Amino acid sequence: MAKVLIVDDSVFMRTVIRDMLQKDPTLEIVGTASNGVEAMEKISILKPDLVTLDIEMPKMNGLDVLRELKNAAWHPKTLILSSLTSKGAEMTTDAIRLGADDFMLKPKDIPQLRLVADELIATIHHLTTAPLTPPSREEVSRDQSKGKSAEQVVLIGSSAGGPPMLDVLLSKLPGDLPAGFVITQHMPIGFTAPLAARFNHIGHMPVKETENGDMLKTGTVLVSKAGVHTMISAAMTPDGKRTGRIIHSNAPMVHGVRPAVDKTFESAAQVFGKNTVAVILSGMGNDAGAGASAIKQAGGTCIICDQKDCLVYGMARSAIQKNAVDKVLPLAKIPDEVERIVMQIAEDSHV
């Protein structure tokens, strides 16, 4: 049973979070705190496995709690619960740099509570049961400097429930694969930068938020910037081979989201054709189906995660409905399959 301490200066949020977590009998709420000073005292006494941590609080804010925890005798996992504001996004990025293990957005209205509850519980289980060993900063920096123009691409699409699954994929994929990686995760504006920063501490490949004009490099992961569509256009390597370049588009939302997975998938299929690998994880709605179909028609490969490992199965189901799925795999088996396909493409291209 995982012990959880809830830290938030709002009585309402402490009550809401407690009510959400109490639905899971494997989680024990050992206490609550209304500010950072009280939180540090209770962490020392109660020794929780995980702390849900608000950032803006009186006496001592969440960022100062993270600083204090660096020298504390007890080191719980920390899950930041951030407000949906530009200031919240900036402070979340700071929290990740200070060592926070993950972040989630607070529900903005009552109808969101049920989905947020399921995602919160899943995230807590992930953080408390699946410890990840981050690579050294030297290893990541070295891999980044060795990146070559990518001649194949791995695209990953996800939404609700996606970040913990992305943790698993990135932690298991080797850092020297001869492909570029693009993750399109539905998130509010401002929050894909802290997401990329967190992933950069987990995997063996360097991770960054997309910028307009980024070239796809082998062994490098790009996270689609929230608020714009991430399109991939054709570019040429110095030796005349085709690669891809990131183009940000302000085109209207697709499926009510921007970035849309479909936009990234469809544009990549036109550039990389049979050298395109798509992975669809947890997510609601129909985003990904049309893109997966485009990849399939171009000769590429589409993998979806088994439903039992997904919080929501809408995105994966949309690809099934388009008859665009090559394999359905448990999450734990996807990294090896991606590696196998990428290496096979590389081998075939040199025949």
Here the CATH number for the domain that contains residue 208 is 3.40.50.180
332 or 87, which is more confident: 332
Q: Are residues 44 and 190 in the same domain?
A: no
The mean pLDDT of 94-116, rounded to a whole number, is: 81
Q: 């090896």: which residue's tokens?
A: 336
**What residues pair up with 177 in beta bridges, in sequence order?**
none
Residue 118: pLDDT band (50, 70, 90) is confident
Residue from 146, 261, 149 nearest 205 by CA:
146
* Tens-place pLDDT, residues 286-317: 999 999 999 999 999 999 999 999 989 999 99
Copy the structure tokens of residue 94. 């700071």
Residue from 50, 40, 306, 281 nearest 155 by CA:
281
The answer to whether 209 and 193 are in contact (CB under 8 A) is yes
Mean of the per-residue pLDDT values of the chain = 91
CA distances (Å), 22 to each of 12, 19, 25, 28, 326, in order? 15, 5, 7, 7, 39
Region of poorest pLDDT, from 136-145, 151-160, 252-261, 297-306: 136-145
Copy the structure tokens of residue 117. 């509850």
Question: How many domains are there within the chain?
Answer: 2
Query: Is residue 134, in this structure, part of any structural domain at all?
Result: no
Q: Are residues 181 and 249 in the same domain?
A: yes
Q: 């200070």: which residue's tokens?
A: 98
Query: Is residue 122, in this structure, part of any structural domain at all?
Result: yes
Query: Is residue 285, in this structure, part of any structural domain at all?
Result: yes
Q: Are residues 76 and 223 in the same domain?
A: no
- In this prediction, residue 117 carries a pLDDT of 87
pLDDT-above-70 percentage for the chain: 92
Query: Is residue 171, in this structure, part of any structural domain at all?
Result: yes
Residue 263: pLDDT band (50, 70, 90) is very high
Query: Is residue 110, in this structure, part of any structural domain at all?
Result: yes
Q: Residue 85: which residues within 8 A CB-CB, separation 6 or more?
A: none
Residue from 202, 183, 216 nearest 338 by CA:
183
Q: What angle do CA 210, 213, 218 make, to 5 degrees?
A: 65
Query: Is residue 330, in this structure, part of any structural domain at all?
Result: yes
d(CA 166, CA 10): 31
- In this prediction, residue 160 carries a pLDDT of 87
Query: Is residue 237, in this structure, part of any structural domain at all?
Result: yes
The answer to whether 49 and 4 are in contact (CB under 8 A) is yes
Q: Are residues 77 and 150 in the same domain?
A: no
Q: Is 50 helix (H, G, I), strand (E, B) or coil?
A: strand
Residue-range definition of the domain harbouring residue 180: 140-349
The answer to whether 53 and 120 are in contact (CB under 8 A) is no
CATH number at 12 reads 3.40.50.2300
Handedness of CA 166, 55, 137, 152 (dihedral sign): positive
d(CA 63, CA 345): 45
Strands (E), 188-310: 207-209, 220-223, 229-236, 242-249, 276-280, 301-305
The answer to whether 315 and 159 are in contact (CB under 8 A) is yes
Residue from 243, 245, 249, 218 nearest 232 by CA:
245
Asked if pLDDT for residue 144 goes beyond 60, the answer is no
- In this prediction, residue 129 carries a pLDDT of 86
Region of poorest pLDDT, from 76-85, 138-147, 244-253: 138-147
Q: Are residues 120 and 144 in the same domain?
A: no
Handedness of CA 197, 199, 204, 210 (dihedral sign): negative
Strands 276-280 and 301-305: parallel
* Tens-place pLDDT, residues 163-212: 989 999 999 999 999 999 999 999 989 999 999 998 998 889 999 999 99
Within 10 angstroms of residue 297's Cβ, the number of other Cβ atoms is 12
| Residues labelled catalytic | 159, 186, 287
Which pTM does this prediction carry?
A: 0.87
Q: Are residues 226 and 94 in the same domain?
A: no
Q: Are residues 21 and 152 in the same domain?
A: no
Asked if pLDDT for residue 146 goes beyond 70, the answer is no
* Tens-place pLDDT, residues 49-104: 999 999 999 999 999 999 999 999 999 999 999 876 667 788 888 999 898 989 98
Picking from 129, 148, 173, the residue at the C-terminal end of a domain is 129
Q: Are residues 9 and 58 in the same domain?
A: yes
Query: Is residue 37, in this structure, part of any structural domain at all?
Result: yes
